[in-house]
Amino acid sequence: MQEQATTADGARAQAVAELDPGQMRRAAKERTLRSALRKRAVGVPTYSVPEAAALMSVSQEHLYRLIRAGVFPAVPMRDGRGRGRYVVPAAAVEDLLNAAAGAARRDEAVAGGVR
C-alpha cells in the first residue's frame, strides 16, 4: 500500500515537472476558477482574492491594487504580526457581475434599435 502511494506521488511529480511554466499557470488558474464556481454554486459568502479575480476575469495583481486603494471591498484577515490575506464578499463580486451583465444587455438593446 505504501509503495503504491509513493509510486503515485512520484508519477504525479514527474507529470508536473514535464509541464512548462505557462501550462502550470493555466492549470492553477483553472483550479482557482473551478473552486470559485463551486463556492458560487453552493452560496459560500466569501471568495479568496484569486477566486474573485478569476470570476471577474481580471488579474490577481489588479484586484489586489483595487482592494489596497479602497475601490473594491475586502476584509483583511491579519495575524498579530501584520501578515494575512483578504477575504472578498461574494455579494460585491455578484453585484459587479450583475451590473456588467445589465450594461451588456443595454448595449445590445441600443445596438439592436439602431439597425
pLDDT of residue 35: 96
pLDDT at res. 79: 80
Could you tell me the residue ranges of all domains in the chain? Answer: 2-114
Q: What is the pLDDT of residue 42?
A: 97
Q: What is the 3-state secondary structure (H, E, C) of the chain?
A: CHHHHHHHHHHHHHHHHHCCHHHHHHHHHHHHHHHHHHHHHHCCCEEEHHHHHHHHCCCHHHHHHHHHCCCCCCEEEECCCCCEEEEEEHHHHHHHHHHHHHHHHHHHHHHHHHC
Walking along the chain (115 residues) 10 residues at a time, the average pLDDT comes out as 56 66 91 96 96 96 96 91 89 94 82 62
pLDDT of residue 36: 96
* Predicted local distance difference test score (pLDDT) of residue 107: 80
